[in-house]
Structure 1
Amino acid sequence: MANVVVVGAQWGDEGKGKIVDWLSLRADAVARFQGGHNAGHTLVVDGVTYKLSLMPSGIVRGKLSVLGNGVVVDPWAFLDEVERVRGQGVDVTPHLVKIAETCALILPVHRDLDAARENRDDGMKIGTTRRGIGPAYEDKVGRRAVRLIDLADADGLRARVADLLHHHNALRKGYGQPAYDAEELVASLLEIAPKILPYAAPVWRVLDDAMARGEKILFEGAQGAMLDVDHGTYPFVTSSNTVSGQAAAGTGVGPGKVGYALGIVKAYTTRVGEGPFPTELTDETGKRLGERGREFGTVTSRQRRCGWFDAVLVRQSVRLNGLNGVALTKLDVLDGFDELKVCTGYRLDGEILDRMPASTRDQARIEPVYETMEGWGESTYGARSWADLPAAAVKYVRRVEELIECPVALLSTSPEREDVILMADPFRG
């Protein structure tokens, strides 16, 4: 199977945008399968920076770009992004971009609820983007969501909104907020309907037809595996399944058609928001990693927490995702360090663990066990072949491969799209 699924293998922000953009040259279509506009990709193409939050990365290359049924869509945010990307010279049309007609929509009531929860003094702060993604998924599972296709039926839409607000207005009352007016919400949705409905399509059929023609599909995930609602560091996770298996469910294709699984792995570790982070560095080294790596979120501009590479975390992600290979990114950020550390295990109550424990309490208590490696003084920035890398950098990459039990298929050495060392083309298995 010539298709490829790309997922983040840490806590997100691994540099998926550049890798997906690079791979999209070899693909005929790019399909996003989960998440919302809480995700973000930064692409640098010929010196121009594109910041995407909902749009699949293939759009910059003019490839068919699909938002699968597993994505939750804020229609206003989507149309704003369309205009922003068009302003940079990208031709965004309903012919090029398709949204699954069954996508659940993110509405103003979802954003309000998200913010109310994060603002509580007596509640657990997850560190969400407050964009309504979690509450939208809740309504989807609760079978009261407004879906994209509902915008085509005014009477049906009113019934949907009434059912939705029966739930939300009770919550709003509990938070001391006024009830939301149903007709106001219906009116705003009917106003935007003609602008977004042209993008609606049976995405499962679009992709099936493409594969029947022998075309290659690149399935694109958002966030990272350790933010998966089932497999991540719960409850400090996102609201969807982020692992490779979701590519099938989130687009409507059979699991046997997803193909090669590629995990994106940063050469160190970062995390945004709350939650456990065993290798986090709050000293000058952590600050240096953040500054060199420009570790600020594409969507929120929040500063990312930084730490050494966690091989235990990535090895677990390799198994959860069934990864065939990884793309190691931001190797150049490690240039100039005298020594580097890699986490090879966790210590908990005197015992060494080889996996992330499931207990929230234990996750907060584990301590990293480090292996120290020699750093390098030479620059790896922009390297496009193994011969361009210092010997210590090659040794670091090979040791990472050993520890995570997965080969490095691609190595990224700068934000520029062509600065990639290719060891194995995922589209060729």
Structure 2
Amino acid sequence: MHTIVVDLGYGDAGKGTVVDRLCVPSPGAAPVAAVVRFNGGAQAAHNVVTTDGRHHTFAQFGSGTFSGVPTHLSRLMLVDPLALAAEARHLASLGSANPLALLTVDRRARLTTPYHAAANRAREQARGTARHGSCGMGIGETAAYALAHPADAPTAGDCTSRTTLRRKLALLRDRLTEELGPLDAPPVEACLDAFAAFAAHVRLVDGDHLARLLRTGPVVFEGAQGVLLDEWHGFHPYTTWSTTTFAGAEELLAEAGQPRAARRLGVVRTYTTRHGPGPLVTEDPALPDALPEAHNGNGRWQGAFRAGHFDAVAHTYAVEVCGGVDALAVTHLDAPARTGGALRMAHAYRTPTGLLDRIPTAPPGDLARQQRLTERLSAARPTRWRSPGADPHAWCDALAHTLDAPVVMESYGPTAADKITARESRNRCRERSPA
């Protein structure tokens, strides 16, 4: 069976390390055939640490690369060739031999260019203190331009034709410049050279490639960001221009003739975090110092890395807008003990209009409704606290009950060796049982 990995929070829950563990060969299990990226783009930051101490922040490559698992960038990905080349160089420096040889890219995937990134930063700077917390890498601009000008939006396949790509890049540059003024970006000819090199070094594939790939063995679909940042279900305007639920992966599976063929694996921490502005009802300013992060910090464009106690109301909402999950991977299970059992779970909010113990869901499309919800959550304060204490097993039980799904992976640290799967847990129990 295939697996879809989705973050049930605001991102940074540990999707990369979970995918890394899923891709490690296991006795008696079929090897993972590929990691498929199905949303977002180069703004992803999935940290993986190997058992020998190597660290890489995966953005476009799948987080199974250290295990030699190929990556497929689907038609739903926003592909940044310049960032991809830099990522490939870093992977090579860490011992991954020719990482671009592990990569396939759907020709229909939209390109993120320096013009998108420059426009993104110009808009964010113009917002001043009302910034949205963008990553500043042009993801929203890529999606917005493709919606406004679908026939002119550059694609990965366009990189094989300088004539086509020159026309599309010049149109893109001119339209954005007319709207925003001069952009801090290289000339079109320089972009053409870089994108031609991209096309020469990666394998561009047609839409039927994924269907063939799915028949070769189990595939892991690696999501980006988190459900609480979803373009339609997140708390507008502090969201991403991307569908961050399971929907994109399931759409790809259906197109490939394998609908409902994947386990829906939701990832959560034992505490709730987010980057930049927007609601974080359970925020505790003391937690970032109590639980320092090696690979998460304040960003120039995103803003501060913030932390709070486990927000059961928000994470339950994430599960509901996804239509449920089949299983959970729980990360940072060492954190309750590191805080002396001080971490808690909030199961309701006090708001100016009364107690709120469930965020109501609604069909996608009404951003005005989501903004009103944001305003309500921004004034909310957590209540109805519960504490599982310092015992990680008590946390797993509490999270499974709260989110209505079994915990199938427990993570106590950054490497694959720090993970325990449900199968391994059952085997340990059998080994301990008397004969």
- Coarse TM-score class (shorter-chain normalised): 0.7 to 0.9
Per-residue displacement from partner, 1:195-241 (whole Å, max 9, x unpaired)?
Answer: 4344242364222112234x111100010011110111111011111
1:62 maps to amino acid: G
1:259 — aligned with what? 262
1:137 — aligned with what? 143
Alignment of 1:287-298 (within 5 A): 287-289=289-291, 291=292, 295-296=296-297
C-alpha displacement at 1:66, in angstroms? Answer: 0.9
Per-residue displacement from partner, 1:313-343 (whole Å, max 9, x unpaired)?
Answer: 1112222223101100001022142433211
SS at match of 1:57: coil
Matched, 1:77 2:80: no
Alignment of 1:295-306 (within 5 A): 295-296=296-297, 303-306=304-307
1:18 — aligned with what? 17
2:403 — aligned with what? 404
C-alpha displacement at 1:98, in angstroms? Answer: 0.7
Q: Matched residues, percent identical?
A: 27
Matched, 1:330 2:318: no
Unaligned runs of 5+ in 1: 377-391
1:6 maps to amino acid: V
Per-residue displacement from partner, 1:33-54 (whole Å, max 9, x unpaired)?
Answer: 1111111111111222222222
1:211–1:255 Cα change, 3 Å: closer
1:311 — aligned with what? 312
Alignment of 1:1-400 (within 5 A): 2-25=1-24, 26-46=31-51, 47-121=53-127, 124-142=130-148, 143=150, 144-173=152-181, 177=182, 184-202=187-205, 204-213=207-216, 215-249=217-251, 253=256, 256-282=259-285, 284-289=286-291, 291=292, 295-296=296-297, 303-321=304-322, 322-336=324-338, 337-349=340-352, 351-356=354-359, 358=370, 359=372, 360-373=374-387, 375-376=389-390, 392-400=391-399
2:363 — aligned with what? none
C-alpha displacement at 1:122, in angstroms? Answer: 5.7
SS at match of 1:60: helix
In structure 1, C-alpha distance between the alignment counterparts of 2:183 and 2:102, rounded to whole Å? 41
- 8 Å CA contact 1:9–1:265 kept in 2: the answer is yes
C-alpha displacement at 1:356, in angstroms? Answer: 3.2
In structure 2, C-alpha distance between the alignment counterparts of 1:54 and 1:178, rounded to whole Å? 25
Per-residue displacement from partner, 1:161-208 (whole Å, max 9, x unpaired)?
Answer: 2432342121133xxx36988xx3144223431343442423642221
1:339–1:416 Cα change, 3 Å: same
- 8 Å CA contact 1:18–1:43 kept in 2: the answer is yes
In structure 2, C-alpha distance between the alignment counterparts of 1:123 and 1:302, rounded to whole Å? 11
Per-residue displacement from partner, 1:278-313 (whole Å, max 9, x unpaired)?
Answer: 00112x345313x26764379989651000001111
In structure 2, C-alpha distance between the alignment counterparts of 1:102 and 1:296, rounded to whole Å? 34
- 8 Å CA contact 1:149–1:197 kept in 2: the answer is no
In structure 2, C-alpha distance between the alignment counterparts of 1:298 and 1:254, rounded to whole Å? 41
- CA RMSD of superposed structures (Å): 2.6
- 8 Å CA contact 1:41–1:298 kept in 2: the answer is no
- 8 Å CA contact 2:133–2:302 kept in 1: the answer is no
In structure 1, C-alpha distance between the alignment counterparts of 2:129 and 2:308, rounded to whole Å? 27
1:353 maps to amino acid: L
2:113 maps to amino acid: L
Per-residue displacement from partner, 1:94-147 (whole Å, max 9, x unpaired)?
Answer: 542111111111111111111111111567311111111111111121213111
SS at match of 2:56: strand
1:374–1:401 Cα change, 3 Å: closer
1:298–1:250 Cα change, 3 Å: farther
Per-residue displacement from partner, 1:257-279 (whole Å, max 9, x unpaired)?
Answer: 55100011011010001111100
Deviates more, 1:42-51 or 1:188-197: 188-197
Unaligned runs of 5+ in 2: 25-30, 361-369, 425-435
2:195 maps to amino acid: I
In structure 1, C-alpha distance between the alignment counterparts of 2:287 and 2:129, rounded to whole Å? 32
2:364 — aligned with what? none
1:156–1:31 Cα change, 3 Å: same
Report the TM-score when normalising by structure 2: 0.85
- 8 Å CA contact 1:262–1:325 kept in 2: the answer is yes
In structure 2, C-alpha distance between the alignment counterparts of 1:292 and 1:333, rounded to whole Å? 11
SS at match of 1:223: strand
1:274 maps to amino acid: P
In structure 2, C-alpha distance between the alignment counterparts of 1:126 and 1:298, rounded to whole Å? 13
